[in-house]
Copies of this chain bind each other. A is one copy, B any other.
Amino acid sequence: MLDDLKQAVCHANRRLVAEGLVTLTWGNVSGISEDRRHMVIKPSGVPYEQLTPDQMVVTNLQGDVLESGLRPSSDTPTHLELYRRFEGIGGIVHTHSRFATVYAQARRPIPCTGTTHADHFDGPIPVTRPLTQDQVANDYEHETGRAIVECLSQQANDPLRLPAVLVAGHAPFTWGTTPAKALDNAVALEAVAEMALHLQRLTGDPIELEPYVLAKHQARKHGPDAYYGQPT
């Protein structure tokens, strides 16, 4: 059951290491089945180099574990909330990648300062509101998902056009139509975070990209007349 998805999720989790996005076990990737009834996610605290597809944990969208003897990632309720609320997404990535995490800890959006950003994200990467003490105590990971959904809803009509968020004091989440594309967005996010940080230290205030250049790069890569990449 769900063999292809387990393979894709396992592969994306292992790619976290190859892309330099994780330290120790600080990151996880999940995917959702086409019928959106099952999620496949990394088991908690297992080193990436040992991961095999059959270790991936299968849950339903309420979080009940259906397969695998292993405990799912502790961030499972956050992933589930995003899948329930963002209908177009097929994969989610959570990392503590260095520079994106610095912005999450600074509780500052990553400004759109160049075309690298514009190719992947339709505007600044927003930061969630902090959770209250009650939210942290009572349903921490689920509340984290709620804060992400609330934050995105205020910023974008389509979560796939702004496929990243910074959880305040914590770290980034990214998503995409597949686990592989969610991972590409995590890679892109870390790169733009690093460049934005260096830029802000060079110039003081960030220099925002012209809105019409942002729109052009979104259109040529993601619009109906996109001409970046090969026709699919």
Which of A6-14, A32-40, A112-120, A156-164 is the interface stretch?
A112-120
The residue of chain B having its C-beta at the shortest distance from the C-beta of A198 within the complex is: B102
* Chain B neighbourhood of A85, CB < 8 A: none
Instruction: Say whether, besides A136-B213, A191-B98, A195-B101, A228 and B45 are in contact (CB < 8 Å).
Output: yes
How many copies are assembled? 4
Are B228 and A74 neighbours in the complex by a CB distance under 8 Å?
yes
Q: Among B116, B194, B201, which residue has its beta carbon within 8 angstroms of that of A26?
A: B116
Cα–Cα, bound, A137→B26 (Å): 42
* Chain B neighbourhood of A70, CB < 8 A: 230
Cα–Cα, bound, A107→B209 (Å): 11
The residue of chain B having its C-beta at the shortest distance from the C-beta of A203 within the complex is: B106
A residues 168-210 touching B (CB-CB < 8 Å): 169-171, 184, 187-188, 191, 194-195, 197-203, 207, 209-210
Are B44 and A229 neighbours in the complex by a CB distance under 8 Å?
yes
Cα–Cα, bound, A46→B71 (Å): 37
Q: Among B24, B104, B115, B136, which residue has its beta carbon within 8 angstroms of that of A216?
A: B136
25 contacts between A and B (CB under 8 A): A23-B187, A23-B188, A44-B227, A45-B230, A71-B230, A74-B227, A74-B228, A96-B115, A96-B191, A102-B198, A103-B202, A105-B114, A105-B207, A106-B199, A106-B207, A107-B207, A114-B170, A115-B169, A130-B210, A133-B212, A136-B210, A136-B216, A169-B207, A169-B209, A197-B202
